[in-house]
Amino acid sequence: MSGWAASRLSAVVYDFGVEREWLARPAGAVLWGTDTRLMYETIRTIGAMPPGSAVLDVPCGGGLALRGMRPGQDLRYVAADISPVMLSRTRAQAARLGRKVVVTAADVTRLPFGDNKFDLCVCFNGLHCLPDPAAAVREIARCLKDGARLVGDTIVRGAGLRQDLAIGAFHRVGLFGEGHTVDEVERWLSDAGLKVDRLELSGAVAHFAATR
Ligand SMILES: C[S@@+](CC[C@H](N)C(=O)[O-])C[C@H]1O[C@@H](n2cnc3c(N)ncnc32)[C@H](O)[C@@H]1O
């Protein structure tokens, strides 16, 4: 079982931090050598989706990306995660923001959606948590419509010793997978049939955008 599904404390501590940009920014800089503004900027992609778009947010965590929706924006927004604690936080966040969200328990490597259903998938800070991220990317790609996009970010090895040690430590407690390189991220995307439009490193965080 994923450490995330089992540990309430990890879910609450992580989500508390990432929901607060003023806290995430120094934490991201110190721990991962990254500029978290890139991630918050990418979240705004959601607000540019045309009316009627279907958006998949996986893993949604506590609903970080919900802030990307504009008030009254006509979207079918599906938020999926494996952790019951995270799912209830997403529900609370949707209620706080007044956004309509379908919240679904799901394993990202076995999504309960048909083929070609979504116009956009956002996947923030999730792939590095998985034992088989390539399977997750394949599964996300299956659920995207032709021409639809996947955007997100993931932590990778190779930025520095401190970051690689942190990846190893989180792996040992079951919160991260074994750790991968940015080249592997590129391979997961292209092997899943996606065209890589962006792959940009900021410290140990790889930001990606790809089109099916
Ligand atoms: C670091 S959090 C990121 C969540 C959110 N996207 C964010 O940026 O705040 C990683 C999330 O992955 C979820 N997760 C881990 N393994 C998963 C799996 N196999 N399927 C779906 N979600 C999973 C965890 O429950 C956790 O919410």
Q: DSSP string spanning 124-148?
A: ES-GGG-S-HHHHHHHHHHHEEEEE
CA of 135 to the centre of ligand 1 (A): 15
CA of 131 to the centre of ligand 1 (A): 12
pLDDT in tens, 171-211: 999 999 999 999 999 999 999 999 999 999 999 999 999 99
Q: How far is CA 41 from CA 21, 75, 142, in A?
A: 11, 19, 26
CA of 98 to the centre of ligand 1 (A): 23
Residue 64 CA, closest ligand 1 atom number = 9
CA of 132 to the centre of ligand 1 (A): 13
Of 40, 41, 108, 153, the residue with max ligand 1 atoms within 8 A of its CB, to mutate for a pocket test, comes to 108
Residue entry with tokens 């494996």: 82
CA of 76 to the centre of ligand 1 (A): 20
pLDDT in tens, 71-123: 999 999 999 999 999 999 999 999 999 999 999 999 999 999 999 999 999 99
Q: Does the pLDDT of residue 6 top 80, yes or no?
A: no
Task: State the CB neighbour count (10 A cutoff) for residue 20.
Answer: 11
pLDDT in tens, 119-139: 999 999 999 999 999 999 999
Q: How far is CA 112 from CA 25, 140, 157, in A?
A: 34, 11, 31
Residue 108 CA, closest ligand 1 atom number = 20
pLDDT of residue 1: 53
Q: Both tokens of residue 134?
A: 């390539």
